[in-house]
Amino acid sequence: MWPKTRALAFLTRGGVASFAALAIITFLHVVFGEQAPKAWAITYPEGTSRWIAAPLILFSWITRPVTELLNRSANRVVRLLGIKGTTAELERIHSPEEIRMLVEQSRARGSLEASDARMLEGVFEFSEKNAREVMTPRTQMVALPADLPIEQAADRVAAAGRSRYPVYRQSLDDIVGTVHAKAILAGLRGGKGGAVEAVMRPAFFVPGTREVEDVLADMKRQKVHLAIVLDEFGGTAGLVTMEDLLEEIVGQIYDEYDRAPISTLGGVGGAAAPVISGGTEIKDVNEAYGLTLDDSDYTTIGGLLFGALGRLPKVGDQVKLPGAVFEILEMEGRRVGKVRVAPPPPPSVSPSAAAAEG
């Protein structure tokens, strides 16, 4: 009976009051001493800083002896545990996942522009990709034969509107160099004649599995703007340019010679169904039309439709995917050329359900 009697005496002599006081103080401390001031400071950072800067400096100066003692003691314990860095440094460290979460939260609150958030997200995704994921595929490459006369090469360059070209001998699997449009025009202006191989430079090759951040470092070190991507058998899989790598961070870049793959006719729900290129990247389609198409197995919308059909696509094929229906309007050989994006049909209502609603 003694323990029960003692507990009862504690409660009757102020135990309940002490517990209630502790609960109230904790509530006031968390709400008014931490959460509310923190939210105010995040919302009005400049005004808050000007208001509290002087008191904080004074308080820091007064409590410096105590804080120095505590910090040194904590740092010594941290070193004994084999952890590198001081407690202050460890408190400022954020993992990539935490930074991405902060970016998303800032974007959702409106304190970070959507374009800036996409760029920051692109920085994190940059290290997760390899050359094969960002390259221009072999089927879309514009290359020049090594023995092509300069005069004919100038005509092809004018028609293609690109600045750099791979140079091959027998086939695209036999890339022997690269050439800049300026070199061809200079050779044409000089009246030297000859073939493309006379003005080409050595080609730079990278495996398709090499991470893009390493490819970027390699290209900067070699001072080249175009690299040939090789597959596992040593054949040409495609090419990657410095612009391709930059676009992974800042988004698609168009100049006066580029044709935007995303139609400007409006969103999926617009009056006119937009038409896009089959080579448009899935991530760009998702961003333009607010879709959530999976891009883990395919890079382009044409590849996604190819995989969904399970056979060679043909004009008129329609593929229903989450959020939209894609109709193939044009084929370029065995490659999807143009695709119409339309909203999904409204769900059908059974006669019995319609009668019940009526």
Domain residue limits at 295: 275-342
* Structure confidence at residue 62 (pLDDT): 92
- Digit-coded pLDDT (tens) for 117-129: 788 887 888 888 8
156 and 196 share one domain: yes
Can you name the residues that pair with 275 across neighbouring β-strands? 340
- Digit-coded pLDDT (tens) for 160-217: 888 999 999 999 999 999 999 999 988 888 666 688 999 999 999 999 999 999 999 9
162 and 197 share one domain: yes
* Structure confidence at residue 273 (pLDDT): 72
281 and 176 share one domain: no
Answer whether residue 50 is part of any domain: no
- Digit-coded pLDDT (tens) for 262-291: 554 344 444 457 888 888 888 888 888 888
**What count of other Cβ atoms lies within 10 Å of the Cβ of residue 98?**
10
156 and 231 share one domain: yes
230 and 136 share one domain: yes
**What count of other Cβ atoms lies within 10 Å of the Cβ of residue 83?**
12
**Which pair of tokens denotes residue 31?**
């709400």
Cα(77)–Cα(86) distance, rounded to whole angstroms? Answer: 10
* Structure confidence at residue 44 (pLDDT): 84
Answer whether residue 46 is part of any domain: no
Which residues of the chain are under the pLDDT cut of 50? 1, 264-271, 353-358
155 and 246 share one domain: yes
Q: What is the CA radius of gyration of the chain?
A: 32
The Cα diameter of the chain in Å comes to 114
117 and 151 share one domain: no
CA geometry: angle at 259 spanning 257 and 262, to 5°? 155
* Structure confidence at residue 271 (pLDDT): 45
* Structure confidence at residue 121 (pLDDT): 81
Cα(151)–Cα(107) distance, rounded to whole angstroms? Answer: 53
Can you name the residues that pair with 300 across neighbouring β-strands? 281
Answer whether residue 66 is part of any domain: no
Answer whether residue 53 is part of any domain: no
* Structure confidence at residue 265 (pLDDT): 37
* Structure confidence at residue 282 (pLDDT): 87
285 and 338 share one domain: yes
Domain count, the chain: 3
Q: At what angle do helices 301-309 and 282-289 cross, to 10 degrees?
A: 100
* Structure confidence at residue 115 (pLDDT): 77
* Structure confidence at residue 238 (pLDDT): 92
Here the CATH number for the domain that contains residue 179 is 3.10.580.10
Answer whether residue 22 is part of any domain: no
Domain boundary among 126, 146, 175: 126
Can you name the residues that pair with 130 across neighbouring β-strands? 211
Give the DSSP H/E element, type plus range, for residue 132. helix 131-134
227 and 283 share one domain: no
Answer whether residue 174 is part of any domain: yes
* Structure confidence at residue 267 (pLDDT): 43
Answer whether residue 20 is part of any domain: no
Across the chain, mean pLDDT equals 81
294 and 240 share one domain: no
Here the CATH number for the domain that contains residue 283 is 3.30.465.10
* Structure confidence at residue 202 (pLDDT): 94
107 and 139 share one domain: no
Answer whether residue 86 is part of any domain: no
